[in-house]
């Protein structure tokens, strides 16, 4: 059993596809162990994406992630980290496989509907960034 962090980004929230995206998780064996809607500050987004600080897209990423509320979710299930990444599809929706979340709901590499932890170690850090122990059940 693993836990991983998913974020439904501002574009997904604005489009009104929160339920449709969660359905992809639940229909594929990932349980919602925690969930909340959050408006990130620039400070939050800079800290969360700190690993990308030197990348050319960092400022745009922070601007986009603070452009509206996001929904943060702890997903739990067998092989949750990899399963979530498979369900999301490639970072660039133009390269995402048919039937993946990004192929179906994302517009661009910036507005790409969802974020998902890329490994178990980062999943633990990302979950701790957003949730206290008592919120996860
Ligand atoms: P995410 O999984 O949230 O992790 C970092 C985000 O940066 C990524 O999804 C994309 O939305 C965004 N991004 C913008 N440009 C790039 C790029 N060239 N490579 C990777 N990620 C990018």
What is the full per-residue pLDDT of the chain (137 aa) written as tens digits? 999 999 999 999 999 999 999 999 999 999 999 999 999 999 999 999 999 999 999 999 999 999 999 999 999 999 999 999 999 999 999 999 999 999 999 999 999 999 999 999 999 999 999 999 999 99
pLDDT at 82: 98
Q: What residues are labeled active site? A: 115
Query: 136 near 31, Cβ under 8 Å?
Result: no
**DSSP one-letter code for 97:** P
The whole-angstrom separation of Cα 10 and Cα 113 is 7
| Longest distance between any two alpha carbons in the chain, whole Å | 39
The whole-angstrom separation of Cα 131 and Cα 137 is 11
109 lines ligand 1 (CB under 6 A): yes
Which residue has tokens 């408006």?
Answer: 39
pLDDT at 103: 98
90 lines ligand 1 (CB under 6 A): no
Which residue has the CA at smallest separation from atom 20 of ligand 1? Answer: 91
Instruction: Tell me the two tokens of residue 31.
Output: 């349980």
pLDDT at 4: 98
């Amino acid at each position: 059993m693993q836990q991983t962090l998913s974020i439904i980004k501002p574009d997904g929230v604005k489009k009104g596809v929160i339920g449709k995206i969660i359905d992809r998780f639940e229909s594929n064996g990932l349980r919602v162990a925690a969930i909340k809607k959050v408006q990130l500050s620039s400070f939050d987004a800079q800290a969360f994406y700190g690993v990308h600080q030197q990348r050319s897209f960092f400022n745009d990423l922070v601007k986009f992630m603070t452009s509206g509320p996001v929904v943060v979710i702890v997903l739990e299930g067998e092989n949750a980290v990899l399963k979530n990444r498979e369900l999301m599809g490639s970072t660039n929706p133009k390269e995402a496989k048919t039937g993946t979340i990004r192929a179906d709901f994302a517009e661009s590499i910036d507005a790409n509907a969802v974020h998902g932890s890329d490994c178990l170690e980062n999943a633990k850090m990302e979950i701790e960034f957003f949730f206290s122990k008592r919120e996860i059940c």
